[in-house]
Amino acid sequence: MTVFNAEDCSERTFVPFPVKEACVKGAFLMTVVHMWNMVTPVGALYGFAQMSVVLSQSYTIFNLMTKAVTRIDLHSNGKEATFHLGKVGRTQTVNIKDIVKLENEKSLVETFEESSMFPLQVGKDTFYVNGPG
């Protein structure tokens, strides 16, 4: 039985807020690095700093999107669920008793225009339920 399904959404979808936040942080940090180089030219360190910012933000976005749960299927035994992870096509079966919500779902209702990623923790892994905006 499917409990949550964002894959078959006919509504207009938006980029989730945490992804937008990572992009804005990256742009801000790139500006800081550029201004730092304008005030105090640092030579080759400038390229290394830019590369570090880009790789750091790219890793953050990649991590968010590969752990985005787009569908949750409940097993017939009622004790396990299968998380379908985004467009990567991976699935992971988890015990329902091990799922811990890291944020109150009321905050999702308050953001009607902004798509969000609701964090769930299963053991040491954190997954993000990626619903439509």
- Mean pLDDT across the chain, nearest whole number? 81
Taking 90 as the threshold, does the pLDDT of residue 30 lie above it? Answer: yes
Total structural domains in the chain?
2
Domain that holds residue 102: 69-130
Confirm whether 56 is domain-assigned: yes
Q: What is the mean pLDDT of residues 50-75?
A: 89
Phi, psi dihedral angles at 53 (to 5 degrees): -65, -45
Cα distance between residue 91 and residue 83, in whole Å: 5
**Residues 79 and 44 placed together within one structural domain of the fold:** no
**Residues 85 and 123 placed together within one structural domain of the fold:** yes
Q: What is the mean pLDDT of residues 100-122?
A: 69
**Residues 51 and 74 placed together within one structural domain of the fold:** no
For residue 106, what pLDDT band results from cuts at 50, 70 and 90? Answer: low
Q: What is the mean pLDDT of residues 31-42?
A: 93
**Residues 41 and 92 placed together within one structural domain of the fold:** no
Look at residue 126 in the predicted model and tell me its pLDDT: 84
Cα distance between residue 29 and residue 55, in whole Å: 12
Sequence-distant (6+) residues with CB within 8 A of 75 are: 81, 82, 93
Taking 90 as the threshold, does the pLDDT of residue 27 lie above it? Answer: yes
Residue % of the chain over a pLDDT of 90: 27
**Residues 79 and 37 placed together within one structural domain of the fold:** no
Taking 70 as the threshold, does the pLDDT of residue 133 lie above it? Answer: no
Confirm whether 108 is domain-assigned: yes
Give the three-state DSSP class for 102: coil
Look at residue 96 in the predicted model and tell me its pLDDT: 87
Phi, psi dihedral angles at 90 (to 5 degrees): -85, 150
For residue 132, what pLDDT band results from cuts at 50, 70 and 90? Answer: very low
